[in-house]
Amino acid sequence: MTERVLSKKDIFENVPVTKALYTMAIPTIISQLISLIYNMVDAFFIGRTGNSYMMAATSLTLTLVMLNIAFSNLFGIGGGSFIARLMGEKREAEAKSVSSFCVYGAVGIAVLYSLLVGIFLEPILKFFGTSEATYLYAKQYTIWVIVIGSLPAILSATLAHLLRNVGCAKQASFGLSSGGILNVILDPLFMFVILPGGYEVVGAALATLISNVFSCVFLLVVFKKAGKTAPLSVNPARISSVRGDNVKAVFAVGVPSAILTGLFDVANICVNMLSSAHNDLVLAGMGIVMKVERIPNAINIGVCQGMLPIVAYNYAAKNMERMKATVRTSRIAGLGISFISIVLLELFAKPVTTFFLSTNTQDMETAVKTIGYATVFLQIRCLASPVQFLNYHTSYCLQAMGKGVATMLHAVVRELVFYIPFMYVLDRSFGETGLAAALPVGEAFGAIFALLLLKFLLKRN
């Protein structure tokens, strides 16, 4: 006897919380992990060259890639969480119009971002800390992935968020994951077969661009099909029916969510600038670590994104018992994942970092030094995983509840009051190891503030 397929109403209202969270979170976690391949595979194959300067350059461009995520959150999380709340209030016609507004809003901001980066490319890269040895590689990657590729990247992420928030987590996961798998195939082909030596960064960028285009086209087809049964639409005519208070509701969560990611990006800029002030090898080592630590982060973000629509729906439906149960269950799951990741990364820090940079090259000396830095940095920064999850979890809870001001407050306090100041103080006091230690220290203070803020808001409901 086959198991009955759960309807969206079952997931949001009826089945046990653990099963509902599992149903929503597992496809999202898979999607998050495979999406990491876009950057992880690039880093792996660039590492096969043994060129630490290529690695440092792609680390610098991570800041610009993260802005793609920030802009997709503006309409994807802002619109998605609002659509889930509208569903909880049985206002699905409005939700359909809001979805159309979010799709075309994402297109507009992607085009604007691409134009601005293209016009100011050189000063942007210089500001981020490129040196003579890294500038050309950073420019090559940025032109293809950001100037040309931001539209498919931002739109595909936005579509995936909107699909997930109406209960289509599997479809969203498959669309993003298929692009990641394609990137695995195309990276070595462009880097080592089609393009000549010295153009490995261009090859990695082209593979990423093509993969993003594929995901975007696939998700557009799925999105249009899902609109037959879910409150989703790509019809531009519907935008005219979106009321001002609906637009305000999208931006009330979307703007803080984008700023949250933007502040995370600012923190990465500060890390890169402080790392490059030591030397390019410290920058390359930190860049490797920032890619490795995204693995447990991706799993935990997947848990949070799976949680968000369930919390949003039940918050709007006034089912506070189910909403709070979802918050508790997801928190326990994320903390468990975080503590397991600490154990694994402490034990296998050196082989994990070596995976990203080959020492079997002519430039073996610099590669070995880079891996040495990365190993130490990873063993320090991985300690942040549990408190980092608590910050993510609280932020997604606030967004699900439509608490835009609280989301903004948490983001500002987390990054500008704690993490970035600790970064400068500890770097000045203890050098590059102090810079690495700023993450667990800053995130711990941020998590304490986050938990107190969430507790206060939940008591008021």
Which two tokens mark 450?
């986050």
Residue 120's CB is within 10 A of a number of other CB atoms, namely 11
Is residue 72 within 8 A of residue 106, CB to CB? The reply is: yes
Is residue 327 within 8 A of residue 455, CB to CB? The reply is: no
User: Rounded mean pLDDT of 252-261?
Assistant: 86
User: Rounded mean pLDDT of 179-188?
Assistant: 86
Which two tokens mark 349?
């820090």
Asked if residue 3 belongs to a domain, the reply is no
Residue type, 66: M
Asked if residue 2 belongs to a domain, the reply is no
Mean pLDDT, the chain, rounded, equals: 87
Q: How far is the C-alpha of 166 from the C-alpha of 453, rounded, in Å?
A: 28
Is residue 308 within 8 A of residue 84, CB to CB? The reply is: yes
- Predicted TM-score (pTM) of the model is 0.76
Residue with tokens 């289509």: 168
Instruction: Please tell me which residue, 375 or 288, carries the higher pLDDT value.
Output: 375
Asked if residue 138 belongs to a domain, the reply is yes
The 10s digit of each residue's pLDDT in 70-101 is 899 899 989 988 998 898 888 888 989 999 99
User: Each residue of 377-396: b (16+ CB within 10 Å) or e?
Assistant: bbbbbbbbbbbbbbbbbbbb
Asked if residue 1 belongs to a domain, the reply is no
Residue type, 334: G
Residue 17: partners with Cβ closer than 8 Å, 6 or more residues away: 310, 322, 325, 326, 329
Asked if residue 267 belongs to a domain, the reply is yes
The 10s digit of each residue's pLDDT in 326-351 is 999 999 999 999 999 999 999 999 88
Q: How far is the C-alpha of 394 from the C-alpha of 408, rounded, in Å?
A: 12
Sign of the dihedral defined by the CA atoms of residues 158, 419, 288, 31, in that order: negative
Asked if residue 342 belongs to a domain, the reply is yes
Q: How far is the C-alpha of 359 from the C-alpha of 350, rounded, in Å?
A: 13
Supply the range of the domain harboring residue 455: 8-459
pLDDT of residue 388: 95
Model confidence at 55, pLDDT cuts 50, 70, 90, reads confident
The 10s digit of each residue's pLDDT in 284-325 is 889 889 888 888 988 998 899 889 889 988 988 889 899 999
Whole-angstrom Cα Rg for the chain: 21
What percent of the chain has a predicted confidence (pLDDT) above 90? 43
By the 10 Å C-beta count (0-12 exposed, 13-18 middle, 19+ buried), 361 is classed as: middle
pLDDT of residue 3: 42
Which of 266, 51, 67, 211 has the alpha carbon at shortest distance from 137? 51
Asked if residue 217 belongs to a domain, the reply is yes
Domain count of the fold of the chain:
1
Which of 98, 404, 83, 101 has the alpha carbon at shortest distance from 255? 404
Asked if residue 38 belongs to a domain, the reply is yes
Which of 33, 64, 229, 70 has the alpha carbon at shortest distance from 149? 64
Residue 364's CB is within 10 A of a number of other CB atoms, namely 12
